[in-house]
Amino acid sequence: MSKLSRQNLILELVQKESIANQEQLRKLLVRQAFNVTQATLSRDIHELGLVKTADGYAVAQGDPQGEVALPPAMRLVREFVTEVREAQNLLVIRTAAGSAQPVAAALDAEGWPEIVGTVGGDDTILVIAPNRRSAHKLAFRIKGMLS
């Protein structure tokens, strides 16, 4: 099971119930077939921006809509993208299972002029560029993130 799936489950658990400490969170993850070490869990908590409150872990406040900021596109591309193919003014990007939507959202959030929009499925993203040259430039940029 992927890091993204684990972190999504952590967010879900923290929002659903009061979790007083890392050991309690680790046990809840083990019940969901995520066997994690304390060090991994500590990194996840840090990356997700969770804060410890009197009631337990919580998503840090500050975003008016309560959403957690997306990880940088470069990190998600490097971690989950497996293939980038050009087709005219379109890119078809293959990802690990269950990772296409977060990667698509992160690419959209970059605000690159080469991206008109994205559609993320389970393991495939369709990226629409305004023209063939923009699609090629974008493919080059994304492939560069993979190395």
Please report the domains of the chain, with CATH numbers, ordered by start residue. 3-59 (1.10.10.10), 73-146 (3.30.1360.40)
pTM of the complete model: 0.56
The model's pLDDT over 114-142, given as tens digits with 9 standing for 90+, comes to 999 999 999 999 999 999 999 999 999 99
Q: Can you give the pLDDT at residue 64?
A: 42
Among 55, 44, 35, 40, which residue's Cα sits nearest to residue 8? Answer: 44
Q: Which residues of the chain have pLDDT under 70?
A: 1, 61-70
Q: Can you give the pLDDT at residue 143?
A: 94
* Alpha carbon 45 to chain centroid, angstroms: 14
CB distance 41 to 29 below 8 Å? yes
